[in-house]
Structure 1
Amino acid sequence: MTEQRASAETRARSFSSAAGRYGTYRPSYPPALFDAVEEITGRPLRGARVADVGAGTGLATERLRERGAEVIGVEPGEGMAAEFRRRLPDVPVVRGDGNRLPFAAHCLDFLTYAQSFHWTDPARSVPEAARVLRPGGALALFWNEPDVSVPWIAEQDARLKSRFGEGWYVADHTVPPARLGLGFTSRVLHWVRRVPLDVHLAKLSTHSLFLTVGPAGEEFLAAERALLAARFPSGEIDEHYAVTLLLGVRDDPA
C-alpha cells in the first residue's frame, strides 16, 4: 500500500529544513560529467560565466568553480541559500528560480541545473534560459539517479515504489522542448561512491519524500537499516549512480 505524498510545491519547499544534512550526505557529481559538458559544447568551463540554478547547498557549484568557471548560485530556499553561503563563502549566491532569472539578456555562457530543473515550469524556464544565454551558450541539466542495473539498488527501488509509489525519488524529468534555438544532446554516465551505511540512510532521508511523509518514512528507513546491515556486514556500501546530462546549445543569433 502506497503512502499519500505531499504536493510538488510542499516537497520543493521542504529542503530548507534539512539544508545541513543535504549538503553533508547528498552525492556530488563525477569529473566525467563536466568533461562531457566541455566536449559536447566545444568550449571550456574555465573562465566561462555560469549560473547554477537551484544550487541548493552548492554541490555542483563547487565542482564548477573547481573547473575554473566564474559561477554564481541561484537558490529560492532561504535555508539552502544560507547553507550555500556557509560552505562557499567566496561564491556569490542570489535568491531566485529558473522561472524568472535575475540576469540580463545574453550574459551567460552556461546555465546549469543540478538535480533541480524538475522544480521549474519548462514553459517559463526554457524561454528564460534562451533569454540569458549568449549565442553558443549552453543549458546543462543533470541529475543523479540510483543505478537500478545494480541488483541491490533495484531491490531497494522496488521496496520504495511499493511503499511510496512511482514518484518517490523525484518529480518528472521531462526533456525540455527543442525550441527557441536549444536542441538537446543526452548522455548517461555511471559512477560509484563508497559510504558507511549510516551515510546512505541519511542521504535517503534528505529526499523530499522523506522530508514530507512523516512517520512512514522513519519506519521505512528503520526497516531498510536492518535489511542492508544483513546484506553488507562490513557496514560499507557502494552507491551506484547513473547521472543523466541533457545539454542544449543556443545556436541562434542574439
Structure 2
Amino acid sequence: MNDLQATERFSNRVEDYVRYRPDYPHALLRWLQSEHGVTPRWLVADIGAGTGISSKLFLDADYHVIAVEPNVAMRTAAEHWLGRDKNFRSLAGRADATGLAAHSVDLISVAQAFHWFDEETTRREFHRILRPQGLVAVYWNSRRLTGTRFLEGYEALLKNYGTDYTSVAERYADELRMRQWFGEGYRGTASFEHRQLLDFDGLRGRLMSSSYAPVAGDPMHQPMLQALRELFDACTEHGKVSLDYDTRVYVGHPG
C-alpha cells in the first residue's frame, strides 16, 4: 500500500531477509496435496515471492514455479539463489498486475505478503490468471506473542522500538476476513507449528529483516540492539532462543 511504501520497504534488508527469515513447514504442502489435490503437475505462481523462500518450498517438491515480485533487490536475490533450478523463473509484477496470461496457472501461492495487497484489485487479477479449477493458498508465519519469557519480551521490544510496528501488525487478516475475501470459493484453513532456533547473530538478523526495525543511523537503532542483547542473555538456553510460530493457511478460489 502507498502509505507504507510496501513495494520498496524491504530493499535495504534483503541480505538479512535471505539469511534469517523463517521458511515454511513441509506439513503445509502435504496438507495442500492431501486435502486439496495439489500435485507437482500444477503450475505455481508465487505472488509477492520476495527472496524466494516460499518458492523453494514448491521447487524442493518438484513443482514448476513462476515467482512474481515487484521489488528489484528481492527479485534479484531470488534469482541468484534459485535461478539454476530448471523449474524456476521470475517475473517483475505486482499482485494486481502480475504480467501472467489469463487462465495460465493452477495454484497461486501468497506467503507473508497478502497484507500488503489491495484486496479488490488482487482478487480480480487472481481470478483472471487462474485456470477454472485452480486454487489460491494464502499463508504466513504468525509469530507467537506469548507463552515464554522470550516471546513476550520480544513483542515488548518491537512495540518499544519498532518504527511502525503496530500499523504493520494490524494488517494481518483473520479467518473471517479471509472467508470474506474468498467468498463462495472458500475451501478451508489449517495451522501448523513452526519455529526458529536462533543464536544472537541469527536473532539480530531476524529482527533487522523486519521492515519496522530502525536501521543503522536511526537514534533508536543502537538502544534497540542493546535491549535485544539483554533479552537474549536473559532467555538463552544452550546459546539459542526459540522464535515460535503458527503457520496459517487459507485456501480457495476467488469469486
Task: State the TM-score, normalizing by the size of structure 1.
Answer: 0.87
Q: Could you tell me which residue of structure 1 aligns to residue 238 of structure 2? A: 234
C-alpha distance in 2 between matches for 1:168 and 1:202:
22
- The CA deviation string for residues 39-90 of structure 1, in whole angstroms up to 9 with x for no partner, is 331232x121001011111001011111121101001001111111111113
Structure 1 pair 182/127, CA: closer, same or farther in 2 (3 Å)? Answer: farther
TM alignment of 1:39-188, pairs within 5 A: 39-44=34-39, 46-90=40-84, 91-151=88-148, 152-164=150-162, 167=166, 170=169, 172-174=171-173, 175-176=177-178, 177-178=180-181, 182-188=185-191
Q: Is 2:202 aligned against 1:199?
A: yes
Task: Name structure 1 gaps, 5 residues minimum.
Answer: 1-5
C-alpha distance in 1 between matches for 2:70 and 2:243:
29
Structure 1 pair 55/170, CA: closer, same or farther in 2 (3 Å)? Answer: farther
Asked if 2 retains the 8 angstrom alpha-carbon contact of 1:140 and 1:247, the reply is yes
Once the two structures are TM-superposed, the CA of residue 225 in structure 1 deviates from its matched residue by 1.1
Structure 1 pair 139/212, CA: closer, same or farther in 2 (3 Å)? Answer: farther
Asked if 1 retains the 8 angstrom alpha-carbon contact of 2:208 and 2:215, the reply is no
Query: Which stretch of structure 1 is more off in the superposition, 189-198 or 157-166?
Result: 157-166
* Secondary structure class of the residue paired with 1:126: helix
> Percent identity between the aligned chains?
25
Q: Which amino acid aligns with 1:160?
A: L
Give the superposed CA RMSD: 2.3
Asked if 1 retains the 8 angstrom alpha-carbon contact of 2:235 and 2:241, the reply is no
Asked if 1 retains the 8 angstrom alpha-carbon contact of 2:182 and 2:252, the reply is no
Once the two structures are TM-superposed, the CA of residue 154 in structure 1 deviates from its matched residue by 2.6
C-alpha distance in 2 between matches for 1:229 and 1:208:
24
Q: Is 2:223 aligned against 1:219?
A: yes
Structure 1 pair 215/242, CA: closer, same or farther in 2 (3 Å)? Answer: farther
* Secondary structure class of the residue paired with 2:98: coil
Q: Could you tell me which residue of structure 2 aligns to residue 3 of structure 1? A: none
Q: Could you tell me which residue of structure 1 aligns to residue 4 of structure 2? A: 8
Once the two structures are TM-superposed, the CA of residue 142 in structure 1 deviates from its matched residue by 0.7
C-alpha distance in 1 between matches for 2:144 and 2:200:
17
Task: State the TM-score, normalizing by the size of structure 2.
Answer: 0.86
Instruction: Work out which of the residue numbers 3, 28, 31 in structure 2 matches 1:36.
Output: 31
Asked if 2 retains the 8 angstrom alpha-carbon contact of 1:150 and 1:240, the reply is no
Task: Name structure 2 gaps, 5 residues minimum.
Answer: none
Once the two structures are TM-superposed, the CA of residue 105 in structure 1 deviates from its matched residue by 1.4
* Secondary structure class of the residue paired with 1:125: helix
Q: Which amino acid aligns with 1:173?
A: Y
Once the two structures are TM-superposed, the CA of residue 245 in structure 1 deviates from its matched residue by 0.5
Instruction: Work out which of the residue numbers 169, 190, 194 in structure 1 matches 2:193.
Output: 190
